[in-house]
Structure 1
Amino acid sequence: MKIKILTAMAFVMLFASCSDFLEQDPNTSLTEEQAFSTLKNIDPIVLGMYISWRNIQKDRGGLMFQLGTDETQQGALQVMTTPGQAGLDYYNGFLSKENTALAEQWDSRWPVVSTAAKAIFALNKNTEADIEKRKILLGEASFIRATIMFELTQYWGEIPILDETHSKELGHGRQPLKDVYAFIINDLKVAEENLPLTQKNPSFPVKYLAQALLGKVYLYAPEASGAHDYTLAKEAFAKVINSGKYNLLATYADVFSPDHANSSESLYEFQFTNDYPDNNQIQWQTGSRALANIDQYAYFGGYDLLLPTKYCYNDKTSGGIWESGDKRKDASIRYDFTYKGIVPTIPSGFGGDELDPHIKKYEDIRIDGKQSFWNSGKNKPYIRYSDVLLCYAECLNELGNTPDAEGFVNQVRKRGFGGSLPAGMEWSGLSKEQFKEQMLDERMRELAFEGWRRMDLIRSGKLVQYVKARNKWTAESGTIAEFHTRYPIPLVEIQLNDDISDADQNPGY
């Protein structure tokens, strides 16, 4: 059974990774039962889970779910040379249960979920005197299980529930959406109850992050789950807003500067540095091959895995999203590739789009002329305060309070335009439907390349319509269909998991 095999490996993998992080020798003499028997042992295992979660966000794999949207698409040479991966933009026969790029994402997450489940089970039975420490560990483990399960169910639908208390009843088969979302919500409520207000280590979550993600779960949950609830989402986001802990930085570009890592706008960001193994290689995948051809130490060089679509990089006058004066445009997207006075050209044999606009958010100038862009190591944002404000505004609009919703959006837009909104740029007097339609563009302007777009398109019911019209490769193939709102269960999972068969595959695959 595939998930069972992966979960059996989880303890060894995660305990070794946390030991490496702490610069200790891995203690391989502990059995799993011994490792989960004391808080002293569980503590580094939970740290290992967060390191593993972070590592999922690195390199090519960390960008895989951003392929195939109306915001981003693969570079031409990538599409020409990697047909399996290209299928994520083409939505053709290569987007299938045999797709290894997706299977890797599926496989990388279950060991973390499994270890979290084991830790939660052990913590609920633990009777040591340090009650406060046990509560924090329970909150941390519950949060990470909920976070990864939320991502898995958003992309695959019904998924297994790994719960040590009910493992015999649940097995490793796919569970109904209502049960999956109820389980995620319960984990986040446990996290909210037990997590502290602050943590010294920014790798660990705090109470407000659990509240924000709980709001997102209520907002993003499909109707079929029975968990979709604008009122409960609004209440969760309001807790974060009313806490007074977070605010927007004055300058949008500062949000992505290493000088402002873990700022007052950040509810959580994945922690990276410029040194292996804590670098993230994101620039390696998002920069321009034309620059890489000139200098491996050019900080905005790379290999074109992920590029903005024309819709994402063009002005409104040219059919895109950008309004005149919006400073988020140049902070998010690179248009000029001049490097040290040299204007690069595209050598023959390249894809032809290497000097089209590229992603700028992850450029790390600290490495320029010193290290290869493989060593890019800026933190990667997960949830920002601006996202909370926009989600809260959505809830207000859906609950019939569009005027107040416009006010929260205008807070975000004001910062985007440099501190004040030009005449005519405020959102005012919109209908509920106009607000909903414009919000999708506003979320792209504010949150481009931060990993939320596919989920936004799925929950709005716009994935097929917008991606077919705006993604070059999807439009070229013309094969995207409604069933593509879910990914296929990997073939190897079906082959090795006794509780998932071909009959359990998502429709269309």
Structure 2
Amino acid sequence: MRRNLHYIIIISFFTLCTGCKKDLLNIENPNTPTTDVFWKTEDDAQRGVNAIYAMFYKPALWSRWIYFRLDLTSDEGFSKSPWVELGDWTRFQYVNYNFGEGNVFTWKDTYKAIFRCNQVLDNVPNIEFANQEDKDKILGQAKFLRALHYYYAALLWENVPLVLKSSQPDDLPLQSTLPEVWAQIEKDLKEALEVLPVAWDDANLGRPNKGSVNAYLARMYMQQHKWAEAKIALDYFFTGEGAGRYSLVSNYQDNFTHTNENNSESVFEIQFSDVNKTPEDADGPSQIMSSQRAQFFAPRSIGWSDGQARYWIVGEFKKENTVDGNLDPRLRYTLFYPALEADFGDKIYGRSWDWDADEAWFRKYARDYFRNNEDYYAQNNFRLVRFADILLLYAEVLNELGNTADAVQYVDQVRNRVGMPALAVNHAEALLGQDAFRERLKVERELELCGESVRWADLKRWGDLDDAGKVQAVAERDPDFKNFVVGKHIRLPLPQIEVLNNPNLKQNSGY
């Protein structure tokens, strides 16, 4: 199953590095071998593309720090970390633009991942394959992964350089505008869509398929308010080849544990594993392949508690009950909060609550369901896209295209899975028009997707950060937004060291 992809990556690193006759305790970066000795065979091409996946496991990306940008900077989370500078970067107090954990490290590893994509795209076309389809799949994966990393760069920094060839140390790439970045993402995704399969065999679970590509095409279009184009991408799941291939799992919790991964709801997920318990900066056959999110987001005395959830979300969940009169079960698996034991009978990591009454923490991807502590080696796959998100995105697109009546059914599917009444029963006003439905959909996405790293993109897409009045409304939920400056904090500053070293870069507006 998905573990096979982990072993493929490990073996790829091992074969690539031992070919250079290096001591296994001193393994070089997988991109170190020169083109004189590498990029010759189909196996080289496979190892090259596998090295791209290894970047997911870097602390600056999906192992740890990117969640601080996507979850904690949004109105869902915040930080009371004693590391003041770390907390400042979740409350729009950016002083040192070269702060590693807040900015530079994620920038660096984003471009390292893009570099690995470019190596594949530059060199694999020159390798002779027995089967052209196998070659196309490797190139398609590289294009999808390059688009994915640029998508998150666009969300965070916006005006980033488009590096589309294997870079050299003395390169001075030109800065691109946000529309140019979106255009390149679109190009890569469309080309990947042509060659990636509808599904992979069990040995290759975790690699992107046509569903993964269409999901990111839709997200990319929606951030630009290209609703008609987004609908075409999302139609894949409902009237295209993907129709019937995806469905909501019956148990909501199954989306966040390691016991039911790559299930029918999964559209694209990062394949984390606890097979290697090595230093986080290792880069080779034994590199760490686990998530550290739980360790940094766990409640005090369990983990570092550098990231917390805003308590307003608890109240939002409790505004309505299921058809059986019970609390929304998603609350149980979304947050740790003071009344969790009283509401659902769940102790927190096997113990009763002993923290402040108005505090909450993210429960998704925590491992309290089978252990009473956390560490740096969480094996839970992170679901970057799941079908519930697709349903809600489709509803949003239909509504923006003026088809609110058809949009309702897709929200109701998400609500029905957890026993919530149909919108027409509890929220009839949301069915009265486009604006009312949009406002209700904002709540529905929060209840379903809280803590899943989509909220920052949502706030930007909805225009909730575009003027002072809307920002003030967000600040009523999250006081950190009192620091938010319209037109400035919608994007991060570029790392100042990059601006100083490259005369082709201009610092983002307001910084």
Q: TM-score, normalised by structure 2?
A: 0.81
Can you list the C-alpha shifts for 1:176-234, whole angstroms capped at 9, x where unaligned?
3332222111100111111112223223111111111111111113xxxxxx4111100
2:366 partner amino acid:
E
Equivalent pair of 1:70/1:466 in contact (CA under 8 Å): no
Is structure 2 residue 471 aligned with structure 1 residue 492?
no
The answer as to whether partners of 1:274 and 1:367 remain within 8 angstroms in 2 is no
The Cα shift of 1:317 comes to 7.1
Gapped regions of structure 2 (runs ≥ 5): 1-7, 21-32, 278-287, 342-346, 466-470
Separation of aligned partners in 2, 1:135 and 1:179: 25
Match for residue 332 of structure 1?
A: 334
Residue number in structure 2 paired with 1:26: 17
Q: CA deviation at 1:359?
A: 1.1
Q: Could you say which residue in structure 1 is the equivalent of 2:344?
A: none
How far does residue 138 in structure 1 lie from its aligned partner after superposition? 0.8
Q: Which of residues 373, 392, 395 is equivalent to 1:393?
A: 395
Deviations 1:223-282 (A, max 9, x none): xxxxx4111100101112332210011222222232221100001111123342232122
- Residue of 480, 487, 492 corresponding to 1:482: 487
Give 1:14's aligned residue.
Answer: none
2:162 equivalent in structure 1: 161
Q: 1:40 aligns with which of 19, 43, 46?
A: 43
Instruction: Say whether the 8 Å CA contact 1:367–1:375 is kept in structure 2.
Output: no
* Alpha carbons 2:272, 2:380 under 8 Å: kept: yes
1:362 correspondence with 2:356: no
- Which amino acid in 2 is paired with 1:204? R
1:235 to 232, 236, 251: 232
Give the SS at the match of 2:291: coil
Which residue of structure 2 aligns with residue 472 of structure 1?
Answer: 479
Change (3 A) 1:203 1:32: farther
Change (3 A) 1:340 1:467: closer
The question of whether the paired residues in 2 share the 8 Å contact of 1:60 and 1:285 is answered with no
Contact 1:279 1:377 in 2 (8 A): yes
The equivalent of 1:416 in structure 2 is: 418
Opposite residue 102 of structure 1, the aligned amino acid is N
Contact 1:250 1:415 in 2 (8 A): yes
1:85-484 aligned within 5 A: 85-94=86-95, 96-100=96-100, 101-164=102-165, 172-199=173-200, 200=202, 201-221=204-224, 228-242=225-239, 243=242, 244-275=244-275, 276=277, 277-289=288-300, 292=301, 301-315=302-316, 325-335=327-337, 336=340, 338=347, 342-343=351-352, 345=354, 356-365=359-368, 368=371, 372-417=374-419, 421=422, 424-425=425-426, 429-463=431-465, 464-475=471-482, 478-484=483-489
Could you tell me whether the CA contact under 8 Å between 1:19 and 1:26 is conserved in 2? Answer: no
Distance 1:484 1:27 in 2: 46
Partners of 1:131 and 1:316 in 2: CA distance: 51
In 1, Cα distance between the equivalents of 2:36 and 2:455? 41
Separation in structure 2 between the aligned mates of residue 171 and residue 195 of structure 1, nearest angstrom: 33
CA distance in 1, matches of 2:15, 2:36: 21
Q: Residues 431, 33 of structure 1: CA spacing in aligned structure 2 closer, same or farther, 3 A cutoff?
A: farther
Shift of 1:147: 0.5
Secondary structure of 1:470's partner?
coil
Post-superposition Cα deviations, 1:408-467, rounded to whole Å, max 9, x if no partner, equal: 11111111336x649823666231011111211111111111101111111111133444
Aligned to 1:10: none
Unaligned runs of 5+ in 1: 1-16, 222-227, 293-300, 347-351
Contact 2:41 2:128 in 1 (8 A): no
SS at match of 1:268: strand
Counterpart residue type for residue 72 of structure 2: L
Q: Distance between the aligned counterparts of 1:140 and 1:456, measured in 2?
A: 26
The separation in 2 between residues aligned to 1:341 and 1:164, in whole angstroms, is 51
> Matches of 2:215 and 2:426 in 1, distance apart?
28
* TM-superposed deviation, 1:479: 5.0
Question: How many pairs were matched up?
Answer: 454
CA 1:423–1:480: 2 relative to 1, 3 Å? same
Higher helix share: 1
Residues 1:248 and 1:127: Cα distance change in structure 2 (over 3 Å): same
Q: Distance in 2 between matches of 1:366 and 1:286?
A: 16
Cα distance in 2 between the residues matched to 1:467 and 1:125: 52
Instruction: Give the counterpart letter for 1:247 in structure 2.
Output: S
The Cα offsets for residues 135-182 of structure 1, whole Å up to 9 and x where unpaired, read as 100110000000101110121112111222999xx9512113332222
Letter in 1 for 2:86: Q
Change (3 A) 1:31 1:145: same
* CA distance in 2 between partners of 1:447 and 1:31 (Å): 44
2:53 to 50, 54, 73: 50
**Structure 2 CA distance for aligned equivalents of residues 422 and 459 of structure 1:** 23
How many percent identity over aligned positions?
25
Q: Distance in 1 between matches of 2:370 and 2:375?
A: 7
Instruction: Kindly indicate whether residue 510 of structure 2 is the aligned counterpart of residue 508 of structure 1.
Output: yes
Q: State the one-letter code of the partner of 2:193.
A: E
Q: What code does the residue aligned with 2:458 have? A: D
User: How far, CA to CA, are the matches of 1:422 and 1:406 in structure 2?
Assistant: 7
> In terms of mean alpha carbon deviation, does 371-380 or 252-261 score higher?
371-380
Question: How far apart in 2 are the matches of 1:24 and 1:189?
Answer: 32
Root mean square deviation of aligned Cα: 2.9
